Structure 1
């Protein structure tokens, strides 16, 4: 796999239409159920205009339940905007370098991709970046003389 002619992010991008996300005015219960159904530990949170706001994790939801002594029923009444986020996921533009993408993927399950107006356009998954790097390393080893 060689570097593509188009920006590297476009090569890996999972478009918004294929990404599981929630809106900041969704409830904790909606996020919990969606994450459980899809078996995700983190999902992007968008505002009503489609701009990336943050990422919500299972840990964020569990800490909110624990710290506020909430029942599962209580989660129907709490919007995601009210849940403290314990980790900041950084976003990238479509033109980011592979080096920066690799650094972010080391810290995040996925890297949110936004346009110049901060509208969410998709994600790059950590696993796809790792696979790409593995292929590049393996290919470079094959080219070396023995």
Structure 2
């Protein structure tokens, strides 16, 4: 089993550009109902993951900032609280699972750090559940025989 089995390709991933504004980021996250999205550079490199919490903490720290002004704030000005690490596509499953324990999704990059997609923790859990269910079913069939 390798990471590619779980990969949601970048074409299907909601992300924001490193050049996005705070307002664009908020609107994109709201439209897709996500609490975190990858931040991608102009060259297609994975840079970070921005969360709803990052945006809320920034707004709290800047109470004079109105919603109408958010289009003037570059996303780069927002401090990110978490350092969500990516995994390389050729990494082993142990590395992926280790990151997935603490991240809702794990960004996947190639050997040039270009973003190629994500692996969702929920997909790993669903796959594991299917394996466990199949193993349990097989055990019960053996006991019945």
**Do the structures match in fold with TM over 0.5?**
yes
From 9, 14, 24, the counterpart of 2:8: 14
Tell me the residue number matched to 2:132: 137
- The answer to whether the aligner puts 1:63 opposite 2:57 as a matched pair is yes
Gaps of 5+ in 1: none
Gaps of 5+ in 2: none
Q: How far is 1:9 from its partner?
A: 1.4
From 108, 112, 127, the counterpart of 1:113: 108
Structure of higher CA gyration radius = 2
Q: How far is 1:96 from its partner?
A: 2.4
- The answer to whether the aligner puts 1:33 opposite 2:48 as a matched pair is no
Q: How far is 1:141 from its partner?
A: 2.3
Q: CA RMSD in A?
A: 1.3
- TM-score scaled to structure 2, two decimals? 0.90
| Count of residues in correspondence between the two structures | 140
Q: How far is 1:99 from its partner?
A: 2.6
Higher helix share: 2
- TM-score scaled to structure 1, two decimals? 0.90
Deviations 1:94-142 (A, max 9, x none): 1222232222112111100000010000111111111011112222223
Comparing 8-17 with 91-100, which one deviates more in the overlay?
91-100
Tell me the residue number matched to 1:127: 122
Comparing 115-124 with 8-17, which one deviates more in the overlay?
8-17
* Counterparts in 2 of 1:63 and 1:78: CA distance versus 1, 3 Å: same
